[in-house]
Chain A
């Protein structure tokens, strides 16, 4: 898997505005509770024991609360990691100090150590998460060890044990609500984000599919129009002009025999007309080869091979006929590849066009490869531009196919076109003659 994909997988869940508000609200709530930690030693100092340590403790908690309060502006600035560090560190330090002073608060400390992980874990980079867990483990270890100090400051003995016990129980129970809310909101938020992402993904897929269908329709419509123009040119203007030419030549012959008209003038006229007919013929053939429409891809490509010379070979696995859009896409892309091979490889280049039908995961695919022994090129380099490869990708993409190009400088080029097709060929009732039936696999070489 590439690094780009890794980056996507390990990135934290993006913090939406609502998640940021939730995080901010949780810290603000914790901030309010923290004032209890500030007030509690003061209350003890006032009503239980005038121990100066309690004032120091209150001061420490006050300082930590101030530190924690800096987390909110950090969130507002978008500095989430800083907010996490401030929030977590202050919470853990408060818990540690409490356990040292009052070991009976160890269960509360455990909850407070875990709470930041539950609250902010989704916002951490993957590489930061182990650090946070390790830190939590160390803090837990320290809290546990502090618990064994067993009342080093003897504060616990100055109050009835049941007061401490009930205080701990109430605080623990009180923690259940915010902790549950934090976990619930976090999970709900992630579920919402995930659902939205899935919905967006589904819409994107549908949009992508519609785009493909639209592109396919556009290409099919263009091909149909090209085919119609070719037919109109071939069956209409070209045939009429040919008929006129034949009649003109016949008239020139008659005139030459009778001596009534200057036959050279008529011949010159006929030559001009023939040149015009040739231009129309080439134009029509370039627009859409009639053989492709009449006889399908293998036959049309064999004609291409014959035009290209004896070193061009078509190997047909007996693929039969397919949808006109697919046949046209593959034909024009093969033509592009063959023309490229000849253009860059010269007349001696050997070109092999292979046509085969295969089934992958129950899906039928038409695989066409054009391999040549030309000079090759760097497919990722600037030299690949101008070889019509973008057209090839556009054409094949429009029928839902894929293009793979392998080329080594000095080692030739292979263009592989893979197109998904219907379960069966388009049938032998669409222009394929009875003569094509049972032809099976065949190999044809150009340059008859």
Chain B
């Protein structure tokens, strides 16, 4: 599955990429460290993506806003939040558009990715 990774923290971006690379059936096809850049990239390449892993706190455009932009062009593209904050502390508009899962970064690993597969449906072929 083609995964696009969005996080403004380079150390975690590397770690997450390593996890995805070590997980069978998943591969990183792109990444971005800012919300604006991520939205542009994803809108452009949405057709080839199977999953977007999106950080909530980004330097410019935050995660929910990126999610909203993506949804205008690719409403069916699965997006999962990945954050160090509690789910309760997400802004309430974070759920205005479908999000397949919320992950705490501390629990992120190959098992969490595998756990996503049932929710991703037919797009797991991408």
Contact of B105 among A242, A289, A307 (CB under 8 A): A242
The residue on A at minimum CB distance from B11 is: A243
Q: Are A433 and B62 in contact (CB under 8 A)?
A: yes
Q: Are A307 and B88 in contact (CB under 8 A)?
A: yes
Specify which chain A residues have a CB less than 8 angstroms from the CB of B18 in the assembled complex.
246-247, 250
**A279 → chain B closest CB, angstroms:** 12
Q: Are A254 and B22 in contact (CB under 8 A)?
A: yes
Provided the pairs A239-B9, A243-B15, A435-B68 are in contact, do residues A234 and B84 lie with their beta carbons within 8 angstroms? Answer: yes
Provided the pairs A242-B105, A243-B11 are in contact, do residues A250 and B19 lie with their beta carbons within 8 angstroms? Answer: yes
**A397 → chain B closest CB, angstroms:** 29
Cα–Cα distance between A291 and B94 once the two chains are bound (Å) = 12
**B25 → chain A closest CB, angstroms:** 15
Provided the pairs A250-B19, A277-B106 are in contact, do residues A235 and B9 lie with their beta carbons within 8 angstroms? Answer: yes
Q: Are A285 and B64 in contact (CB under 8 A)?
A: no
Q: Are A435 and B65 in contact (CB under 8 A)?
A: yes
A interface size (C-beta, 8 A): 38
Q: Are A433 and B61 in contact (CB under 8 A)?
A: yes
Specify which chain B residues have a CB less than 8 angstroms from the CB of A238 in the assembled complex.
84
Contact of A435 among B8, B19, B96 (CB under 8 A): B96
Q: Are B93 and A291 in contact (CB under 8 A)?
A: no
The residue on B at minimum CB distance from A254 is: B22
Provided the pairs A281-B85, A435-B93 are in contact, do residues A245 and B11 lie with their beta carbons within 8 angstroms? Answer: no
Q: Is A24 an interface residue (CB 8 A)?
A: no
Specify which chain B residues have a CB less than 8 angstroms from the CB of A433 in the assembled complex.
61-62, 64-65, 68, 93
Chain A, range 267-288, C-beta contacts under 8 Å to B: 274, 277-278, 281, 285
Interface segment out of the listed A49-57, A61-69, A298-306 = A298-306
The residue on B at minimum CB distance from A252 is: B109
Chain A, range 366-411, C-beta contacts under 8 Å to B: none
Q: Are A253 and B22 in contact (CB under 8 A)?
A: yes
Specify which chain A residues have a CB less than 8 angstroms from the CB of B90 in the assembled complex.
303
Q: Is A434 an interface residue (CB 8 A)?
A: yes
Provided the pairs A250-B18, A254-B22, A435-B64 are in contact, do residues A291 and B91 lie with their beta carbons within 8 angstroms? Answer: yes
Provided the pairs A249-B109, A277-B106, A289-B89 are in contact, do residues A243 and B12 lie with their beta carbons within 8 angstroms? Answer: yes
The residue on A at minimum CB distance from B9 is: A239
Cα–Cα distance between A234 and B64 once the two chains are bound (Å) = 19
Cα–Cα distance between A90 and B110 once the two chains are bound (Å) = 108
Instruction: Choose among A244, A291, A435 the residue with the greatest number of B CB atoms under 10 Å from its CB.
Output: A435
Instruction: Choose among B62, B89, B90 the residue with the greatest number of A CB atoms under 10 Å from its CB.
Output: B89
Chain B, range 46-85, C-beta contacts under 8 Å to A: 57, 61-62, 64-65, 68, 84-85
**B121 → chain A closest CB, angstroms:** 24
Interface string of B1-23 (1 = CB under 8 A from A): 00000001101101110110010
Q: Are A302 and B92 in contact (CB under 8 A)?
A: yes
Cα–Cα distance between A260 and B122 once the two chains are bound (Å) = 37
**B70 → chain A closest CB, angstroms:** 12
Q: Are A246 and B62 in contact (CB under 8 A)?
A: no
Cα–Cα distance between A181 and B20 once the two chains are bound (Å) = 99
Cα–Cα distance between A348 and B106 once the two chains are bound (Å) = 33
Specify which chain A residues have a CB less than 8 angstroms from the CB of B105 in the assembled complex.
242, 246
Q: Are B65 and A240 in contact (CB under 8 A)?
A: no
**A247 → chain B closest CB, angstroms:** 5
Q: Is A76 an interface residue (CB 8 A)?
A: no
Q: Are B106 and A303 in contact (CB under 8 A)?
A: no
Specify which chain B residues have a CB less than 8 angstroms from the CB of A302 in the assembled complex.
91-92
**B55 → chain A closest CB, angstroms:** 10
Specify which chain A residues have a CB less than 8 angstroms from the CB of B57 in the assembled complex.
234, 290, 294
Specify which chain B residues have a CB less than 8 angstroms from the CB of A307 in the assembled complex.
86, 88-89
The residue on B at minimum CB distance from A270 is: B106
Cα–Cα distance between A358 and B16 once the two chains are bound (Å) = 47
The residue on A at minimum CB distance from B106 is: A274
Contact of B65 among A234, A277, A434, A448 (CB under 8 A): A434
Specify which chain B residues have a CB less than 8 angstroms from the CB of A240 in the assembled complex.
11
Cα–Cα distance between A15 and B94 once the two chains are bound (Å) = 70
Interface string of A329-355 (1 = CB under 8 A from B): 000000000000000000000000000
Contact of B109 among A234, A253, A277, A439 (CB under 8 A): A253
Q: List 10 A-B contacts (CB under 8 A).
A: A244-B15, A246-B19, A246-B105, A249-B109, A290-B89, A291-B89, A306-B89, A433-B61, A436-B93, A448-B95
Residues of A within 8 A of B (CB): 234-235, 238-240, 242-247, 249-250, 253-254, 274, 277-278, 281, 285, 289-291, 294-295, 299, 302-303, 306-307, 431, 433-436, 439, 444, 448
Residues of B within 8 A of A (CB): 8-9, 11-12, 14-16, 18-19, 22, 57, 61-62, 64-65, 68, 84-86, 88-93, 95-96, 105-106, 108-110
